[in-house]
Amino acid sequence: MANFSPSSFCSSSCITAFIILQLLWSCRLFANGCYTSIISFGDSLADTGNLKMLSAYKPDQESLHFFLPPYGESFFHVPTGRCSNGRLVIDFIAESIGLPLVAPFVGGNRNRLMEFRRGVNYAVVGATALDSSFHAARGVPNPLTNSSLRVQLGWFKQSWPSICAKVQDCDQLIRHSLILMGEIGGNDYNHALLAGKSIDEIETYVPLVVKAIISTVKELIKLGAKTILIPGNLPIGCSAAYLTLYHDSDKAEYDNSTGCLIWLNKLSEYHNQLLQKELYQLRELHRDANIIYGDYYNAAMQFFRYPDKYGFTNGALKACCGGGGPFNYNLSVHCGDPSSNLCAHPDTYVNWDGLHLTQAAYKIIYKSLFQGSYTVPQFNSICPTSMLRPIKELSSAI
């Protein structure tokens, strides 16, 4: 063994100080919350800029309007690739546990590896749980991306060794990470519905979609994940896009208490019920892991049923930004198009652009899950509310 000398190595007191600094750094990471990192997969409900980076090479892509004002206007003041006027649920989570807003994976390089150690996002706007080939074989194209859940998992596996640097670091980092599995699966139904597929056919996709999600969760657990949050689908029958598309439906097809389409919400409920059943079985097999179901559906139904109670004085169904019509949604005039119109006070609206929600709505979903009772098991039984930081006001900027 080589001899240590003062001339070539730090003194023992210096080494001790270095170790203390390392311990203090580790403690600071945990003191900021319950997790040292966030790893995210999913679609437009979670994407913080991946499709924006992917689309930089395809300027004619249909998604271009997502990257134009007024997207991002209420918090970032510039479009960031998020499909909202401001923050998403994932942003509120990061703020609350004292972590930076989660960086998109696409476009990252070695200079961002340290940033990725504290959070990396593989979610892509338009992504599906099932591969694009599944939908293409059924005549349903994906105009936005082929970055399905399997593709995102592939990105993770390929990049993770570089992000965590060492084998022991990888084990520790994934063990102490909060993994967000979506929302994912909604686009498997959205793309098919917009392509004109029947509800009977789309219902046959549900077990396959859930299987794809569960398979990915299993793979992450195998890789060492200990805390995974898997959200269910939102009530799509309350979407301004579908309320516009099926505007001439029989009045009996609408829920009198919300104005939402019953049959579309039943599709979401079917997905969520099957997902919860599979997650229950997964918990039985992996008792050492925290496998959490996020009830996006009922968290959202709070403000669809009682919009005024939550400050949505302009109602829950009409889009803030869109191309006109009874729900301010037009398939031919997207939010961001020069001829689209914009509401004056987005925080008084639930719906942002017809398919996505406003920052104010996402904040309520966040609080319902992470500070309330809309997860199974309850998130605050795993990470106490006292460990969470207050989040910035909706009108704030970073």
Residue 17: how many CA atoms within 13 Å on its side-chain side? 5
Q: Is 55 one of the annotated active-site residues of the chain?
A: no
Q: Can you tell me the distance from the alpha carbon of 260 to that of 239, in angstroms, rounded to the nearest whole number?
A: 8
Give the SS3 label for residue 27: helix
Name the catalytic one among 44, 96, 148, 177. Answer: 44
Q: Is 353 one of the annotated active-site residues of the chain?
A: yes
Q: Which residue has the tokens 């499709």?
A: 51
Burial 256-271 (b: 16+ CB within 10 A, else e): eebebbeebbebbbbb
Q: Can you tell me the distance from the alpha carbon of 80 to that of 182, in angstroms, rounded to the nearest whole number?
A: 19
For residue 121, the cross-strand partners are 40, 104
Q: Which residue has the tokens 């966040």?
A: 366
What letter represents residue 140's amino acid?
V
Q: What are phi and psi of 178, to 5 degrees?
A: -95, 120
Name the catalytic one among 148, 191, 353, 368. Answer: 353
Classify residue 108 as left (phi > 0), alpha (psi -120 to 50) or beta.
beta
Q: What are phi and psi of 375, to 5 degrees?
A: -130, 155
Considering only CA atoms, which of 76, 58, 78 is closest in space to residue 67? 78
Q: Is 340 one of the annotated active-site residues of the chain?
A: no
Please report the sign of the dihedral spanned by the C-alpha atoms of residue 364, residue 33, residue 118, residue 149: negative
Angle between helical axes of 149-164 and 167-175 (0-180°, round to 10): 120
The CA distances from residue 356 to 51, 318, 365, in Å, are 15, 11, 13
Query: Would you list the DSSP string of 168-233?
Result: HHHHHHHHTEEEEE-S-SHHHHHHHHHTT--HHHHHTTHHHHHHHHHHHHHHHHHTT--EEEEE--
The CA distances from residue 267 to 111, 353, 355, in Å, are 44, 22, 16
Residues designated as active site = 44, 353, 356
